Amino acid sequence: MKTDTNLKQDPREDVGSLNARLQSLEAGERIEFLAEQFSGRILATTSFGLQAAVMLKLLKDRAPGIPIVFIDTGYLFPETYRYAAHLQEELGFKVQIYSPAVTAARQEALYGKQWEGGPEEMTDYARVHKIEPMNRALQELGADVWISGLRHSQSSARSQRGFAEKQSRTLKGYPIIDWDDEKVECFIRDHGLPRHPLVEAGYVTMGDWHSTRPGSKGSKESTRFNGEKYECGLHLDSRQQDFQI
């Protein structure tokens, strides 16, 4: 797939054209297009969540040169860490792990269990454990374009997102944003992909152990942060974030 010369040199100023181009492609083609259009300045992220295998399989098959970043908050379920190791071995790739600059023990000793507090404390928690390491990944890998596996059906906050958007100074692309749960499940089944072990325990979404609980698809948004919010801290409105790139 060739680079689209119709896009302006700075893609962050031409998000509308990029959205239209991505909409005309299939998911794998979107990944190929983004990889070629923004070669050398792009990365992807994975949370090793319940459906992360889909994006990882597409990335491995269609754009294996894109670095994949894993933000390790230090509070993930043991099953998630084991699943991450298994999936990397199964698909034959290796993530680049970024962790907070301070340990979980130090953070708790100084500020307590912030995830049990109100919105301001939860925001501070996300800034330390998610935003700072993500900023560092963007800087160290020289990226200002970021591929993520967000989908419309995951939450109301994601239902109106396009295939690409600006978040502060970073351009984000969502190759499977229009996939529903049925399409995701068919892809996992057809490709024989390993499933996260906590699916069988009734989890319908996945995050840190202290702020994620089992639930039903109909009440998915109530399974995170005691129902007070759903977003993990990385995919909020750019006015609420401070991505440095």
pLDDT of res. 18: 93
| 1 occurs within a structural domain | no
| 4 occurs within a structural domain | no
Catalytic residue ranges? 232
Average pLDDT in the 174-178 region? 94
Most confident of 130-144, 146-160, 208-222, 228-242: 130-144
Angle, CA 6 vertex, CA 178 and CA 135 arms, to 5°: 60
* Structural domain range at position 18: 11-240
Between these two residues, 173 and 13, which has the higher pLDDT value?
Answer: 173
CA 45: distance to chain centroid?
A: 5
State how many domains the chain has. 1
Distance CA 1, CA 33 (A): 6
| 212 occurs within a structural domain | yes
Could you tell me whether strands 145-147 and 170-173 are parallel, antiparallel, or unpaired per DSSP bridges? parallel
pLDDT digits (tens, 9 = 90+) for 36-61: 999 999 999 999 999 999 999 999 99
Confidence check: pLDDT of 10 > 90: no
Task: Write the burial class of residue 112 (CB in 10 Å: 0-12 exposed, 13-18 middle, 19+ buried).
Answer: exposed
| 188 occurs within a structural domain | yes
| 27 occurs within a structural domain | yes
pLDDT of res. 197: 94
| 6 occurs within a structural domain | no
Whole-prediction pTM value? 0.85
Angle between helices 27-37 and 52-62 (to 10 degrees): 60
pLDDT of res. 238: 43
| 123 occurs within a structural domain | yes
pLDDT digits (tens, 9 = 90+) for 121-169: 888 898 999 999 999 999 999 999 999 999 887 656 666 788 999 888 8
Q: What is the CATH number of the domain that holds 138?
A: 3.40.50.620
| 183 occurs within a structural domain | yes
